[in-house]
Amino acid sequence: MSTPLEVATEQRPKPVLRPWWYTYFELLKFRLSFLVAFSGVLGYMMGAERPYSLWLMALFSISGLLVTGAANAVNQVLEVEFDRLMQRTGDRPLPSGRLSKQKALIFVAVTLFIGLFIQTNSFNPLTAGVSFVSFLLYGFVYTPLKRVGSIAVYVGAIPGGLPPLIGWIAATGTVNGEAWWLFALQFVWQFTHFWAVAWVLDNDYAKAGFKLLPLKRPPSSRTAWVILLFTIWLLPLALVPYEMGYTGVVSSIIATVMAVVLVVFNIALVRNPTVATAKRLMFSAFAYLPIVQIAFVIDRV
């Protein structure tokens, strides 16, 4: 009788030949790393003095991309055997055999060193220190906890929420109330975003033994209620910057409207707990963060 790993390997199509550099591009998870670096840059713009230095913003973007890419690569090294079991991840560089663990770890060391070196020398040691803590939490705490239970999401939300705070530290060298608000906004958003993704991909995650939803499988209206309890916290967080004088009223209105949209989609998931409804919440969560953060930056400027 075939094991789940043998079945998954037999059913997977042969990998398409790609240039060697594209393999490392995939290992970096460029799109995800870019989005993380982008939210960090927006945090930098919230704290930096105008006019902005395009050179420093570019350096910070590159450093954030490299450190995040290193964390993503560590995640893939540690999960290579589980990635082979899932349709979504089976063709990644490591499970497909296109890259060895040794080469992946060299990639991690090089990208992490360069990223932290840039942050230390072009900005300040605190920026590099918090980035390194984020790398450790994501790679060596969140990753193994994914097979333990939903505690992984609570832990993973910390490095997931840190990029704008790191950007603020890079621009100012300090941490204050506004920096913690930037962190809190993205930290809370992580739960709506990630649990919606986990709902949509739950069948695939189950093949690898990942337990990411807040309640036991299968996801139900009770699961959607737990997600909603986190989503509603985005409403008061939308008002904080105006009440504290960080930004004007326009961005707070935009953030409030977007939070209401998420709440509405989340309530729809409570009433109709299906994958299709979870997808609508997932895509609305994808849209929420860049729209709200860009609005705050523009209003601040």
Encode the chain (301 residues) as per-residue pLDDT tens digits: 433 333 343 444 455 567 778 899 999 999 999 999 999 999 999 999 989 999 999 999 999 999 999 999 999 999 999 999 998 889 999 999 999 999 999 999 999 999 999 999 999 999 999 999 999 999 999 999 999 999 999 999 999 999 999 999 999 999 999 999 999 999 999 999 999 999 999 999 999 999 999 998 899 999 999 999 999 999 999 999 999 999 999 999 999 999 999 999 999 999 999 999 999 999 999 999 999 999 999 998 7
* Structure tokens belonging to residue 202: 């739950």
| E strands present in 36-181 | none
Rounded to two decimals, what is the model's pTM? 0.91
Nearest to 27 by CA among 99, 78, 88: 99
Do the first three CATH levels of 1-147 and 176-301 match, i.e. the same topology?
Answer: no
Q: Three-state secondary structure along 84-103?
A: CCCCCCCCCCCCCCCCCHHH
Domain 1-147 has CATH 3.40.50.1000: no
User: Is the torsion defined by CA of 46, 47, 52, 53 positive or negative?
Assistant: negative
Pick the CATH number of 176-301 from 3.30.70, 1.20.120, 1.10.10, 1.20.1740: 1.20.120
- DSSP secondary-structure letter at 16? P
Query: How far apart, in whole angstroms, are the C-alpha atoms of residue 42 and residue 220?
Result: 36
Task: Count CB atoms within 10 A of the CB of residue 12.
Answer: 14
Query: How far apart, in whole angstroms, are the C-alpha atoms of residue 190 and residue 187?
Result: 5
Enumerate the domain spans of the chain.
1-147, 176-301
Which three-class secondary structure state does DSSP give residue 125?
helix
* Structure tokens belonging to residue 6: 């043998």
